[in-house]
Amino acid sequence: MFGGLKEKLQAARNRLAGSIQAVVTAPPVTASTGDLPVHAHPAQQPSGAPTFVEKVKVLLIERELIVSEKDVADALSELEMTLLESDVALTAADAIIAHVRKHLVGKHRKIGESVDNLVVNALRSALLDVLGSGFNLLDYIRNRPHPVKILFTGVNGTGKTTTVAKIGAYLKKEGFSVVIGAGDTYRAGAIEQIGVHAERLGIKIIQHPEGGDPSAVLFDTVQYANSHKIDVVLADTAGRFHNKANLMSQLDKIKRVMKPDLVVYVDEAVAGNDAVTRAFEFDKTIGADAVVLTKADMDSRGGAAISIAHTIGKPLMFLGTGQSYDDIVPFEPAKVVDELLGVT
Ligand SMILES: Nc1nc2c(ncn2[C@@H]2O[C@H](COP(=O)(O)OP(=O)(O)O)[C@@H](O)[C@H]2O)c(=O)[nH]1
Ligand SMILES: [Mg+2]
């Protein structure tokens, strides 16, 4: 997952650290107290009026390094190229660079601080800022009245139906009762596909014949959940584009009828910038509360995963990482960032 981005970010980390290391190891500027080595004294808190010796120690310890814009300019523009090549959206890449620059440049840095730590911390906080906080579905479900109704939307073939099945399996494992609504009534194949998943997983499914009104299926699904005290409703829908007015008004009707607690936008990580643009448009047209990116297992660039929350302002909830039911991982920004930076 995101192998290419990982490699490039780690190269950028080394390049940045190298640029700063060059400043650190440049011939030292003579301190006003003399040319003593800067690491000669351990940190010490002077108490009361400082003696002459204490004053000197403080001065030495506080002798600092200031990284200038010039010192890191090349490394930062390389980092920006790396991000853009990895399909990170321009606004997200800009935000990352600005954050790293602000973290590193012009600040007084104690020479004793590890250069690599300084760089890793700058990159980590920049990436975390852009990735947002993620979305803990289990906490969300625990804290809401049941049934919690979740509607899955997005374009065709991105993995909505598979994701509904995976999340059904995940929630069942976590002890929640689940019912699935077969809201893709366009093709008999679609109804059968979700039916097969539900049967394999031992999850109740509500289906209507092909060509029926998806709102009616999902209404029945919610009714079933209410009368059987089911914890979670997972509503599958047919793929659609945000610019197809009739399909979008159908989705509008679905929303009015089933009143979802959560609208989840599903797209594929491999689509890169296209996924981000589609998510943005979809959110504008119909609204989205959280995002699932599928096929992260096939995505080396990682750009969509990095950019999507920042671009549309909605959290990334899960990554799909393969074709089996277990191949879904809650998106935990801190874990992903450490893995990307190679500091796990
Ligand atoms: N490698 C991989 N394939 C996936 C993933 N999620 C879905 N798929 C595959 O993508 C294809 C389309 O999935 P489907 O759920 O039918 O998409 P839908 O049209 O959006 O409902 C199927 O072949 C799935 O097995 C994933 O996370 N990784
Ligand atoms: Mg489907």
Whether 240 and 234 have beta carbons less than 8 Å apart is answered as no
Is 241 or 163 the better-scoring residue by pLDDT? 163
Probe target for ligand 1 pocket from 293, 323, 324, with the most ligand atoms within 8 Å of CB:
323
> 307 in ligand 1 pocket by Cβ < 6 Å?
no
The response to whether residue 239 sits with its C-beta less than 6 Å from ligand 1 reads yes
Average pLDDT across the chain, whole number: 89
| Whole-angstrom distance, CA of residue 91 vs CA of residue 112 | 34
State the residue for tokens 């499914």: 205
* Bridge-based pairing state of the strands 108-110 and 148-153: unpaired
CA-nearest residue for atom 5, ligand 1, is 295
Q: What is the pLDDT of residue 41?
A: 37
Instruction: Examine the pLDDT at 36 and tell me if it is beyond 70.
Output: no
Helix (H, G, I), strand (E, B), or coil: what is residue 110?
Answer: strand
pLDDT at 58: 44
On the question of pLDDT at 31 being above 50, the answer is no
Of residues 249 and 48, the one with the higher pLDDT is: 249
Determine if the peptide bond prior to 50 is cis (ω within 30°).
Answer: no
Under DSSP, is residue 223 helix (H, G, I), strand (E, B) or coil?
helix
Mean pLDDT of 177-181: 98
Question: Counting beta carbons within 10 angstroms of the beta carbon of residue 52, is it exposed (0 to 12), middle (13 to 18) or buried (19 or more)?
Answer: exposed
Strand ranges, E, within 165-256 = 178-183, 204-206, 232-237
**Span 159-186, mean pLDDT?**
97
> Where do we find the tokens 């310890």?
61
Answer yes or no: is pLDDT of 34 > 60: no
Q: Which ligand 1 atom sits closest to the C-alpha of 162?
A: 15
pLDDT digit string, tens, across residues 153-166: 999 999 999 999 99
- What pLDDT does residue 314 have? 96
What is the per-residue DSSP string for 117-159? HHHHHHHHHHHHHHHTT---HHHHHHTSPSSEEEEEE-STTSS
Decide: 162 in ligand 1 pocket, CB within 6 A. Answer: yes
Least confident segment among 186-195, 235-244, 253-262, 301-310: 235-244
Question: What pLDDT, on a 0 to 100 scale, did the predictor assign at position 52?
Answer: 57
* Residue 37's pLDDT band (cuts 50, 70, 90): very low
Write out pLDDT tens, residues 79-122.
Answer: 999 999 999 999 999 999 999 999 988 876 666 667 888 899 99
Query: CA 152 to CA 265: how far, in whole Å?
Result: 6
How confident is the model at residue 42, as a pLDDT? Answer: 40
pLDDT at 35 over 50: no
Confidence of residue 59 (pLDDT cuts 50, 70, 90): very low
- What is the predicted pLDDT for the residue at 107? 72
What is the pLDDT confidence band of residue 53, given thresholds at 50, 70 and 90?
A: low
